[in-house]
Structures are given as structure tokens and as C-alpha cells.
Structure 1
Amino acid sequence: MSRILVTASDLQAALSAGAFPDGGPVRVLDVRWRLDRPDGRPDYRAGHIPGAQYVDLDHDLAAHGAATEGRHPLPPVEALQNAARRWGIDAGDTVVVYDDLNNMSSARAWWLLRFAGVADVRLLDGAWRAWTEAGFDRETGDAAIPTPGDIDLAYGALPSLELGEVGAFADDSLLLDARAAERYRGEVEPIDPRAGHIPGAISAPTTENVDADGRFHTPDALRSRFRMLGAEDGMSVGVYCGSGVTAAHQAVALTLAGFEPRVFPGSWSQWSNHPELPVQTGPAPR
């Protein structure tokens, strides 16, 4: 668990020492983004962890193309590598990510950097709230521009799902829908062109993976939750959300629980933009 989550106290100690005892030099990324306020820079400038580099999720962690690719398709790996180097990331660094939304947004950076081959990426458990409640120093304005890093990235270090694989995966394996239950049922759809869920998917809102303080439940508690949803030991579990952001948060929880998650980056925003693909509504998977 310590290789995925860090406490505010452990991060503060690592920043003071320059590295984690079990990791490399520390690089901190602030990934503030939310659907109703995608530009998190004003909040970042109002206060952030000293030295943390601001990450623009819409531009640094996503590409922009046709609607049939989804709302947050993966950026070209060369673009992500350029961004990671701009943030000062070197090979061997320990990267810590956080946001102000219970890590629902920063988990995208966790998964994407891991998928691109960064071996040691961790989340600040409890996110920005945990840092401020601990009373640690905060920095305002923009952090100093770091020396450019030398990290080399290549996609494929974690398993994933492409659009053409998802239907068969839902037939044969466990596919979890990380969105709110009412969106899964198709009662509301505020963004994407069709309401409902991928046939065969199980509703598993990712908000249920954290406690009232925004900290992840214990691995045992998460394992029990996913077993109740149908996950078995050794099983590869697929996960999607609206546009591939909170699916990464579910992937964190699945990893903590000991399962191997396969994220569908295009998620519902891609699936629902393909009218030839079926849609299921209501509380049942099919």
C-alpha cells in the first residue's frame, strides 16, 4: 500500500529529505480539475504543496479529437513525455500526485504515468485536504520552473481496453462502471449523447472507495467490496467511467485490493458516440 498511497506526514518528510526511504527524488504534481471547473490553476495559485507543478488535465493528460474518440482520449505519448520533462521528472524519480477532489482527478495522472512506464507514482491519500489539515506549509502563485527532466515514456506498461475489445470483455469477464448509479441506470445523462451503460457492466460508483475524509478504504475492505461485485482472486477486472478520469480512481482501488485493473480510456463518452454499439438502461447489467 505504501507504494501507491502516501500520507501527508510521509510526503512532508520526503520533501525535507529530498527522497522517500523506499523511493527516489520527489516530484509533486497538482492535478486540480473538476467537470464544472476544469481550469484548476486559480485554486492552485491560491495555495499548493511547495514545489508542486500544476498539471492541466484537459491539455496535459488528454488529447482532443473526434467525438468518437471520447472526451478525454489519451494524449500522444510524445506529448505526455514532453509534459513530464517540463514538470522536471527524471528516470528513477518518485512522483506524488494530488488534487482537491479526493484524488478523483489526480488518479488520471497516476494511471497514465504508470501506463507510460513511470515505475513509482503515488497518491497523497486524502489529497489537498490531508495536507492542509496537517498544518504543513503551502506555497502561493506558481512554483519555480524545474530543470527539465530526462524521463522516456512508452505506453503499454499496464493492461488496458480498446473500444473493440470492451463488448467481448463484458461478456466473459467483470466490467465495472465507475459512474454515479443514476447515470449507470440511464436516469440522467448530463454530458454524453446516450444514457445508460455498456451491456454486461456492473454498477460500482468509485465514490464508495473512499471514506468521509477522502481517504481510500483499507485493502481488505476494498477487496471485500469488489468480491461482492463479482471479482475473483487473480481476475483481470475492466473499468470505465464517463470519460476515463474517475475510471483511474477505480483502478487505484482495484490495485490496492489486489486485482489487476484494465482501464477503458475512452469510457462511456466514446462508447455512447458510436450509435452502432448497444446500450442498456435500468439497474440490471443486461
Structure 2
Amino acid sequence: MKPIITASELVSELAGARPPVLLDVRWELGGPPGRPAYEAGHLPGAVYVDLDAELAGPAGAGGRHPLPDVSAFGATMRRAGVSADTPVVVYDGGLGWSAARAWWLLRWTGHQDVRVLDGGLAVWPGELSQEVPRPEPGDFVPVPGALGLLDADGAAALAGAGLLLDARAAERYRGDVEPIDPVGGHIPGAVSAPTTENVDREGRFLPAEALAARFSALGATADKEVAVYCGSGVSGAHEVLALELAGIPAALYAGSWSEWSRDPARPVAKGPDPE
């Protein structure tokens, strides 16, 4: 199943016999919480899910956004009305990062029918609602392992044996600046592949053919294992989604640079070259 859905397709499906569960996952790095924006107006029927509190565990040695406790994540999804056999559509304010994080978590834990609204709330053609829904609880029980997941050692190994993509901005990859984490630079062997180059000016994903060409130029081939990391495992999920659109399966190093850079024993590379 294609991992994204257009606004027009969503309008049609919401009017159909099996309307999807809608999850509003608005969040902005360093910005205000998404809940006030949700309360000011959201897609009718959408349930708000908090990235920091419900799509991540407490920040610490495992990074700024470590994976949430699986049982707690399952409870969040059931509260939102998610069942094993119900389609789910997630959206955010338009950047796509936090929606992709929810998409990745649902897919990783075994949900088969989840898509991201391409372009986010900005492309929605209809009216917004301020009504907070109270859906019937769903029955989704997460079973981790359906998508690839790496720890720090696995990311280090893949950087040498396969293709490890760094989804952060190029200046953070090079180590020119590091506004968030303790150390600037990148995992030795990783290739710079900023998430922002996966989308057009409106924040919509590029066509699959263009994405395939992009990742091929970065070294992704059919016989090569591919993985992604970013700052804290949020924008990296967006790149995993872009790779899926391109027909390339990829694992996620969820701890990402925020975990790697906290360990002084981990090597750090700087500059434009992988090593």
C-alpha cells in the first residue's frame, strides 16, 4: 500500500464505507506544543496525539526522542480509536516529520494500513473543527518488528557494510553548526541526505521516480542494506517513508545523533565527506 494519501483521496475515503481514523500529530522542533493548534482547528473527527509524550519515551541517554514504551503506545492508539483492521491517516502542520514518526511507529508495530496526508493540514480543502471527538476504543495491539530498527552499534556497522543516510541539514552533518546536541558532525561513513530534499516547495513528496533517482545517486542499490538516522528519530522516519515511496526498504536508527553524540566513546566525523 502506498504510504501517503492526497487530500482529495482522503475526502473521498472519509465519505466512504470505511472512513479512516484520523490522527493529528502536529509538532514543531523547538516550537510550541501542538495541542493548542489542534484545539483551534483540526480535521473533523481527528484525535490529537502528542509526539513528545505519546510517540516518544523520556529523553535521556537514548536520545531526545527514544521510542515509547510499546504497551503505552498501544494504549494511546486504542484510545484514539485505532483497531487492527481500520485504516489510519496521520497528518501534521505540513512538514511531515511528526506524521511520519506516527506512521513509522504504527508500521513498525504491525499495523498494515496507515498513511500520511501528503502536504499535511495546509492542503486540506474543507472546513476545520474545534470539536474534540471521543471515539470508541480500538483493539490495536502493537507487535514490534515489522520494520527495520537499528541501535548505535548496528548503525556503526551498517555505515561500513551498507548505506547509512543522515537526514539532517547538511550544515549539521558537516559539523559547521550544532544547535541542539552536544557535538557537531556525523557518524563515520554516513552519507548526507537532507530530508528537505525529499519534498517540493509545498512540502509534498517528490514523485517516486524522482525519489528513486535521488537515492540511487546517493548509493542506494537493490543489493545494499539501507538505514537512516537524523537528530532524534523524527525526520529520519520521514526519510524512511520517502525511501519506501522509491521502492527501497530502509531501517531507522531511532536514537540517532542525539543518542550517538552523548556517548564520548563514539567516533565523530566532520566535514562534507562520509569518513
Decide: shared fold, TM above 0.5: yes
CA positional deviation for 1:12: 1.1
Aligned pair 1:137/2:127, yes or no? Answer: yes
**SS of equivalent residue, structure 1 residue 28:** strand
**SS of equivalent residue, structure 1 residue 105:** helix
User: What's the counterpart of residue 58 of structure 1?
Assistant: 52
**Cα distance in 2 between the residues matched to 1:39 and 1:69:** 22
Deviation per CA, 1:19-55: give whole Å up to 9, x if none: 2xxxxx4101011001122510111111111000001
Matching residue's letter, 1:166: A
Among the aligned pairs, what percent are the same residue?
53
The answer to whether the Cα contact below 8 Å between 2:96 and 2:120 also exists between their aligned partners in 1 is yes
Q: What does 1:1-286 align with in structure 2 at a 5 Å threshold? A: 3-19=2-18, 25-65=19-59, 67-131=60-124, 134=125, 136-140=126-130, 142-286=131-275
CA positional deviation for 1:235: 3.0
Deviation per CA, 1:54-109: give whole Å up to 9, x if none: 010001100015x3210111011100000000101111011101101321221000
CA positional deviation for 1:166: 1.3
Matching residue's letter, 1:43: A
User: What's the counterpart of residue 22 of structure 1?
Assistant: none
**SS of equivalent residue, structure 1 residue 216:** coil
Deviation per CA, 1:222-272: give whole Å up to 9, x if none: 000000001112433110000000000000100000101110000000000
CA positional deviation for 1:285: 0.4
**Cα distance in 2 between the residues matched to 1:235 and 1:107:** 23
Aligned residues: 275
CA RMSD of aligned residues (A): 1.1
**SS of equivalent residue, structure 2 residue 15:** helix
Uncovered stretches (5+) of structure 2, i.e. residues with no partner: none
Matching residue's letter, 1:178: A
TM-score by length of 1: 0.94
Q: Report which stretch shifted further, 249-258 or 158-167.
A: 158-167
The answer to whether the Cα contact below 8 Å between 1:61 and 1:75 also exists between their aligned partners in 2 is yes
Matching residue's letter, 1:149: G
**Cα distance in 2 between the residues matched to 1:119 and 1:125:** 18
The answer to whether the Cα contact below 8 Å between 2:158 and 2:225 also exists between their aligned partners in 1 is no
**SS of equivalent residue, structure 2 residue 21:** strand
**Cα distance in 2 between the residues matched to 1:91 and 1:166:** 31
TM-score by length of 2: 0.97
Matching residue's letter, 1:55: V
Which consecutive segments of 4 or more residues in structure 1 shift more than 3 A? Answer: none
Matching residue's letter, 1:29: L
**SS of equivalent residue, structure 1 residue 170:** helix
**Cα distance in 2 between the residues matched to 1:87 and 1:33:** 17
Relative to structure 1, the CA distance from residue 139 to residue 234 in structure 2 (aligned partners, 3 Å threshold; closer, same or farther) is farther
